[in-house]
């Protein structure tokens, strides 16, 4: 039997950020359960990337992780170019155009998911108050009056293991059960914690599948995030930091490149109908590349596919309450949104920072029992805080998706006119830049830049 303060299920970007944020302002003991290995960093580039905004960058910096990310592969971008394939509308954003935040040089950063996770994991391993459980998955979670009891698959009966999604991963070493004051589910869109606790959720199929891949753009990405709205959905080209020239294709989730210094690699996120996604993934690499070049109007040159293509369905999910007694959901376990604005990860990182702030705000530094860790009213306030922002983001994504749905010619004309007016209306444009930066009211303290940074 092991007693700890906070049990975090899921050692992805959000779960690891929560662990570090909790330890930054407290002496809470943390257990993290996740059997997914952390890949070693090498010269391969992962097709799975995240667009990190300024608020998230501040979180990483305040947790002492940003310098490690910068020394790895981070691509900053100062510009965004958005256009409507079916009309004449376009939008151009630049960090230097921000009147509200003139000190910001970048609109954001594109970073491979494995690079972020690796940096967070390394930082967490240095903290003696964070304990990793990587050998076995959890089998059960049960709540008592003052604690949560969690058992591992190797400890559960064979019947229990067969009846739920957590099964023994083959390890022969039993893992003792854990007793925690709080359990946090940071275990992704198909959250096992959410299922175990029967936490109610609303969801809606976006009727889109996303195709992700790495491509080479001979004209270079120009430190710009590109996005074109097609009749079937948005296609984004996110600039990658490679320091290399793409010369080979590997049959894996990552692609390795030779050492010619160029900036011509992009990660694509192609959101389209399920039928079109099936058609596109069935094309050979040459035909797929030609189609990308055509739909992007050749703005990035003759595009070449440099990796495998991966596709997955897009679904909106939102739990009705982020908190159920002593169990809390954050990140994709609590909400998933359309990737067209690239805000999913940023929303999850804010969840982690907000929860850490909520749990540690009233702790007495001299009270080793951490008796005030669970305050129901505070947890309910956290749930309302984070659900409100998630709902706002889901609504905004639905509005944008609907605005660019196939329309009759008069509507398309009005849409284009509206985009062009917005492109030349500084106050509204400045507000959109602020949204892209992630700087807004009611942010967790970790999301603000500290003087010491």
DSSP category for residue 60: H
DSSP category for residue 331: G
pLDDT value at residue 246: 39
**Given its phi and psi angles, is residue 331 left (phi above 0), alpha (psi -120 to 50 degrees) or beta?**
left
pLDDT value at residue 402: 64
Q: What is the tens place of the pLDDT at every residue in 331-368? A: 999 999 988 777 889 999 999 999 999 999 988 654 55
d(CA 378, CA 360): 11
Query: What is the H or E stretch that residue 30 is in?
Result: strand 30-33
**Taken in order 126, 184, 182, 35, is the CA torsion positive or negative?**
negative
Q: Which of 278-282, 374-378, 433-437 has the lowest mean pLDDT?
A: 433-437
**Given its phi and psi angles, is residue 170 left (phi above 0), alpha (psi -120 to 50 degrees) or beta?**
left
| Overall average pLDDT of the 275-302 stretch | 96
Mean pLDDT of the chain: 84
pTM comes to 0.88
Helix axes 13-24, 113-125, angle to 10 degrees: 30
CB 282 within 8 A of CB 316: no
Per-residue pLDDT at 100 exceeds 70: no
| Overall average pLDDT of the 306-327 stretch | 95
DSSP category for residue 339: G
CB 428 within 8 A of CB 91: no
pLDDT value at residue 190: 96
pLDDT value at residue 421: 67
| Overall average pLDDT of the 55-82 stretch | 94
pLDDT value at residue 409: 52
**Taken in order 128, 130, 133, 138, is the CA torsion positive or negative?**
positive
Query: What is the H or E stretch that residue 434 is in?
Result: helix 426-437
Higher-confidence residue of 117 and 94: namely 117
> pLDDT-derived band of residue 12, with 50, 70 and 90 as boundaries?
very high
Query: What is the H or E stretch that residue 81 is in?
Result: strand 79-84
Minimal CA–CA distance to 113: which of 310, 393, 401?
310
| Overall average pLDDT of the 262-286 stretch | 94
Class of domain 2-40+55-70+115-202+315-406: alpha beta
Per-residue pLDDT at 318 exceeds 80: yes
197-211, 261-275, 366-380: which is most confident = 197-211
């Amino acid at each position: 039997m092991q007693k700890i303060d906070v049990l975090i299920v899921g050692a992805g970007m959000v779960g690891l950020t929560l662990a570090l944020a909790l330890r930054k302002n407290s002496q809470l003991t943390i257990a993290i359960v996740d059997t997914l290995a952390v890949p070693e960093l090498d010269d391969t580039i992962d097709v799975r990337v995240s667009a990190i905004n300024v608020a998230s960058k501040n979180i990483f910096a305040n947790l002492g992780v940003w310098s490690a990310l910068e020394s790895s592969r981070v691509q900053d971008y100062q510009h965004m170019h958005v256009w409507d394939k079916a009309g004449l509308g376009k939008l151009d954003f630049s960090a230097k155009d921000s009147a509200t935040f003139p000190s910001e040089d970048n609109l954001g950063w594109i970073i491979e998911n494995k690079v972020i996770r690796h940096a967070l994991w390394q930082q967490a391993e240095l903290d003696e108050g964070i304990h990793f459980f990587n050998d076995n998955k959890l089998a059960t979670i049960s709540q008592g009056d003052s604690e949560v009891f969690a058992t591992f698959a190797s400890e559960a009966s064979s019947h229990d293991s067969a009846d739920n999604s957590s099964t023994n991963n083959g390890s022969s070493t039993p893992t003792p059960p854990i007793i925690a004051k709080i359990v946090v589910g940071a275990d992704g869109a198909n959250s096992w914690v959410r299922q175990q606790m029967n936490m109610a959720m609303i969801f809606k199929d976006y009727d889109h599948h996303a195709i992700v891949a790495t491509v080479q753009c001979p004209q270079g990405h120009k430190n710009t995030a590109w996005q074109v709205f097609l009749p079937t959905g948005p296609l984004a080209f996110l600039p990658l930091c490679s320091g290399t020239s793409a010369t080979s294709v590997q049959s894996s989730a990552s692609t390795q490149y030779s050492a010619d210094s160029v900036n011509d690699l992009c990660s694509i996120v192609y959101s389209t109908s399920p039928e079109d996604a099936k058609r596109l993934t069935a094309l050979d690499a040459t035909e797929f590349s030609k189609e990308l070049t055509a739909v992007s109007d050749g703005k990035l040159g003759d595009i070449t596919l440099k990796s495998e293509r991966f596709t997955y369905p897009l679904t909106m999910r939102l739990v009705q309450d982020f908190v159920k007694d002593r169990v809390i959901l954050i990140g994709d376990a609590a909400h998933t949104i359309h990737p067209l604005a690239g805000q999913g990860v940023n929303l999850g990182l804010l969840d982690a920072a907000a929860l850490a702030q909520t749990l540690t705000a009233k702790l007495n530094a001299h009270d080793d029992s951490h008796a005030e860790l669970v305050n129901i009213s505070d947890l309910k306030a956290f749930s309302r805080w984070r659900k409100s922002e998630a709902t706002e983001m889901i609504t905004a994504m639905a509005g944008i998706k609907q605005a660019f749905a196939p329309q009759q010619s008069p509507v398309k004309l009005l849409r284009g006119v509206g985009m062009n007016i917005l492109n030349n209306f500084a106050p509204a444009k400045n507000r959109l830049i602020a949204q892209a930066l992630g700087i807004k009211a009611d942010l967790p303290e970790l999301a603000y830049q500290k003087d010491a940074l």
